[in-house]
Amino acid sequence: MKAAILDKGKLTIKDVPKPSPGFEEALVRITATGVCHSDVHLVKGDWPRLVPPYPIPMGHEGVGIVEELGPEAGKFVKEGDRVILGLGGTGGGYWCGACEYCLSGKPRLCKEAKVVLGTYAEYISVWAKALVKLPEQVSDNEVSLACGGLTAYGAVKKLIKFDVSPGKPVAIVGAAGGLGHYAVQIAKAFGYKVIGVDVGQEKIEFIKRLGAFDAVDANEAVKFVKENFGGVYASIVFSTKLAGFELGLKLLKQGGVFISVGMPPVSEGGISISPLELLRMDPLIMSSAVGTVEDMRALVQLAAEGKVKTHVSRVGSLSEVNQIFDELANGKYSGRAIINNLTK
């Protein structure tokens, strides 16, 4: 079968053996895979501490058909089931289910957690417990719910957990991007007054079409938000630039919640805030990454109801993956890119 393999910074399409499902695994024929910005960072070496040993099978968002079951996998899925997989890649391949993190709903932190890698291929063998069945209403074009959508869902859900009640104004920084455009829709579905922030008039208009309460260019955001809302109750930052994180902090009102999701290159350094400013603002600062199987089921239901929809700007074949990476790295389009021909 064909698969995209990364080896020391070079991504190539190779012929590799078709996998066989192991214990509690299902063999899935991939019908569509999403291109995530984290894949671009992995190829560029932007996150050196997170690079697994080479060679690396690439891709972690997928929709496909279960074609074969390994031992005991039939307890979770059946042959012929149409499923979505990924769970954000990180921790979505396996978790023990019995440690303090798994039992508290944080399987990504489990010491036994394994990543999902290899959806840029005709087939993948994956732990069946991590698969979620898809209803007919959810098309293959929604494949990026597997990571982009789920990551946005997990971040927005934290607003409720940390007492930011629906109806309050919240800022989505990087709102026109692959993750941000999901967050705008999800936060709206949850009942928040969404202020979308990005750069350029085209992206601002796109954010408004997504249903945001308002949208503003990043260069004008602080003045606009302070004058019209006195600051937001929460900022969720999906930017891949450090400037987006600094902006997210500036948009907050005192006592606001700051949620970090995007991951700029390590070379950009870190955000800083003085102890005096920390005391004055008294923010709650946290990160957010992916979600759980139950989150995925809830998100799939929102998509089935038409409340969340993937904006697909680019569709290609597996052979175009490097070109798509270049386009994504250069911000050529809003929303997501997907590959729906894994044999070419």
| pLDDT by residue, tens only, the chain of 344 residues | 999 999 877 899 999 999 999 999 999 999 999 998 888 888 877 776 666 678 989 999 999 999 999 999 999 999 999 999 978 667 788 999 999 999 998 888 999 999 899 999 999 999 999 999 999 999 999 999 999 999 999 999 999 999 999 999 999 999 999 899 999 999 999 999 999 999 999 999 999 999 999 999 999 999 999 999 999 999 999 998 899 999 999 999 999 999 999 988 878 888 888 999 999 999 999 999 888 899 999 999 999 999 999 999 999 999 999 999 999 888 888 788 999 999 98
Closest-CA residue to 251 (of 283, 220, 222, 215)? 222
Are the C-beta atoms of 321 and 43 separated by less than 8 Å? no
Q: What is the predicted pLDDT for the residue at 88?
A: 67
Q: What is the predicted pLDDT for the residue at 302?
A: 97
Contacts of 241 (CB under 8 A, 6+ apart): 264, 268
> What structural domains and CATH numbers belong to the chain?
2-147+291-341 (3.90.180.10), 150-287 (3.40.50.720)
Q: What is the predicted pLDDT for the residue at 89?
A: 64
Q: What is the predicted pLDDT for the residue at 344?
A: 87
Are the C-beta atoms of 261 and 235 separated by less than 8 Å? no
Q: What is the predicted pLDDT for the residue at 271?
A: 86
pTM of the full predicted structure? 0.92
Q: What is the predicted pLDDT for the residue at 291?
A: 86
DSSP state of 236: E
Q: What is the predicted pLDDT for the residue at 311?
A: 92
Tell me the CB-side half-sphere exposure of residue 342, using CA atoms within 13 A: 26
Q: What is the predicted pLDDT for the residue at 288?
A: 92
Q: What is the predicted pLDDT for the residue at 149?
A: 95
Alpha carbon distance 75, 108 (integer Å): 23
Block residue for tokens 């003085």: 274
Q: Kind of pairing, strands 169-173 and 232-237?
A: parallel
